[in-house]
Structure 1
């Protein structure tokens, strides 16, 4: 049976979803934009600041599940503009290390929160 996990260091869900679902030996982390934990608003400072905040939120969720960023095996990046990808990659490189997770990047036409430029979701080992 899948287990839902929530972090008190990440923004509260604004819908009917879990921060993390533990299923088998994997942790499926919800997609994070640059949501500030205290307010749920998108952080100011553009794609670099939003990516930084998304990675912090992912780290908080993985920690709540007893895991860490170095156990990420799969990453999906959704961006409003592929021109942001080099910046997104540079920021995530500060949080991830080799062996790099497999990754997909997709340009999309909109995200759930106004002003969001990037959303990242991951799968990690438990």
Structure 2
């Protein structure tokens, strides 16, 4: 199967040895997105709610660059430095997804790059 690298300037540029997303066949593998603002590559200000919204905006941009939408995510992984923000993630996620919701994992981690409180990656079907 062929591999296609997905890249957009509407999401933060990779800060390591990875691509924003890779399409293999009909599946798009989305790299972790954090609360970086694409234009500045700085963490958005405003606390965890602003960070979560920025992550969903970044994931949306990468999904659109791959020719699809956020709604096509089949599996979403959420990494939180403070699991007490789990309810906040659920509330905000409901603003970006409609039922049926994707499969999901939410994990507590010690820290994330650039000191953000949340990062998400996922797998998306290409329709």
TM range (shorter): over 0.9
- Which residues of structure 2 form unaligned runs of 5+? none
Q: Is 1:56 aligned to residue 61 of structure 2?
A: no
Q: Which runs of 4+ in 1 moved over 4 A?
A: none
Contact 1:5 1:20 in 2 (8 A): yes
TM-score (norm 2): 0.95
Indicate the RMSD between aligned Cα atoms, in angstroms. Answer: 0.8
TM-score (norm 1): 0.96
CA separation in 2, counterparts of 1:74 and 1:106? Answer: 14
Q: Residue 4 of structure 1 contacts residue 18 of structure 1 at CA under 8 Å; is this kept in 2? A: yes
Find the aligned partners of 1:93 and 1:32 in 2 and give their Cα distance: 18
Alpha-carbon displacement from aligned partner over 1:63-104 (angstroms, at most 9, x marks no partner):
000010111110000000110011011111111111110000
Task: Give the Cα separation in 2 of the matches to 1:86 and 1:75.
Answer: 16
Aligned positions, number = 125
1:8 offset after TM fit, Å? 1.5
